[in-house]
Chains A and B, each alone.
Chain A
Amino acid sequence: MKRALAALVAGLILIAAPVRAHHSFSAEFDVNKPLKLEGTLKKWEMVNPHSWFHLDVKGPDGKIVTWMVEGGSPNQLIRMGVTKNTVPIGTTLLVDAYQAKDGTAKAVGRNFVLPDGSRLFLGGSAPGGDGGTK
Chain B
Amino acid sequence: MKLSVVVGIVMLAAIPIAGQQPSTYKAPRTPDGQPDLQGFWTNSTYTPLERPDGVTKEFYTPEELAEVEKRAAARESEQTEPGTVADVHYDFSQFGLDNSQATLARSLRTSLIVDPPTGKMPPVTPEGRKRAADLAAARKALGNVNDAVQNMSNGGRCIIMGGSGPPLMDAGYNANYHIVQAPGYVMILTEMIHDARIIPLDGRPQPPSGLRQWMGVSRGRWEGETLVVETTNFNGRNPFRGSSENLKVIERFTRLADDAIQYRFTVEDPSTWEIPWTAEERLQHTEGPIFEHACHEGNYGIANTLAGARLEEKKAAEEAAAGGAK
On A, residues with C-beta under 8 Å from B are 4-5, 7-9, 11-31, 34, 45, 47-52, 68, 70-80, 96, 98, 100-104, 106, 108-112, 119-124, 134
Is the CB–CB distance between A9 and B91 below 8 Å? no
Q: Once bound together, how far apart are the Cα atoms of A86 and B50, in whole Å?
A: 40
Is the CB–CB distance between B307 and A20 below 8 Å? no
Of the candidate stretches B27-35, B132-140, B292-300, the one touching chain A is B292-300
A49 and B85 in contact, given A79-B287, A100-B308 (Cβ under 8 angstroms) = no
Is the CB–CB distance between A16 and B47 below 8 Å? yes
Q: How far is the CB of A22 from chain B (nearest CB, A)?
A: 5
User: Residue A76 contacts which of B101, B152, B308 (CB distance < 8 angstroms)?
Assistant: B101
List chain A residues, Cβ under 8 A from B243: none
Interface centre among A17, A49, A52, A72 (most CB of B within 10 A): A49
Is the CB–CB distance between A20 and B54 below 8 Å? no
Is the CB–CB distance between A123 and B101 below 8 Å? yes
Which residues between 253 and 288 of chain B lie within 8 Å of chain A, taking CB atoms?
Answer: 287
List chain B residues, Cβ under 8 A from A75: 174, 191, 290-291, 293
What are 11 A-B interface contacts by the 8 Å CB criterion? A12-B52, A13-B75, A20-B173, A23-B153, A28-B304, A31-B84, A31-B87, A47-B297, A75-B191, A76-B97, A110-B82
List chain B residues, Cβ under 8 A from A108: 88-90
Is residue B156 contacting chain A, with contact meaning CB distance below 8 A?
A: yes
Interface centre among A7, A20, A23, A124 (most CB of B within 10 A): A23
Q: Once bound together, how far apart are the Cα atoms of A112 and B84, in whole Å?
A: 18
List chain B residues, Cβ under 8 A from A47: 294, 297-298
Is the contact region of chain B dominated by helix, strand, or loop, or is it mixed?
loop
**Seed contacts A16-B46, A26-B88; 14 additional CB < 8 Å A-B pairs:** A12-B48, A13-B71, A15-B48, A18-B173, A23-B305, A27-B308, A29-B88, A31-B83, A45-B298, A48-B294, A49-B298, A76-B101, A109-B90, A134-B287
Is the contact region of chain A dominated by helix, strand, or loop, or is it mixed?
mixed
Is the CB–CB distance between A100 and B304 below 8 Å? yes
A134 and B72 in contact, given A11-B55, A52-B300, A72-B90 (Cβ under 8 angstroms) = no
Is residue B312 contacting chain A, with contact meaning CB distance below 8 A?
A: yes
Is the CB–CB distance between A106 and B54 below 8 Å? no
List chain A residues, Cβ under 8 A from B91: 110-111
The 6 closest A-B pairs by CB, nearest first: A11-B52, A72-B95, A101-B308, A47-B298, A18-B172, A76-B96
Is the CB–CB distance between B96 and A16 below 8 Å? no
Across the interface, name the chain A residue whose C-beta is closest to B311.
A102
Across the interface, name the chain A residue whose C-beta is closest to B93.
A122
List chain A residues, Cβ under 8 A from B88: 25-26, 29-31, 98, 108, 110
List chain B residues, Cβ under 8 A from A22: 155-156, 158, 161, 295, 301
Is the CB–CB distance between B83 and A27 below 8 Å? no
Q: Once bound together, how far apart are the Cα atoms of A20 and B301, in whole Å?
A: 15
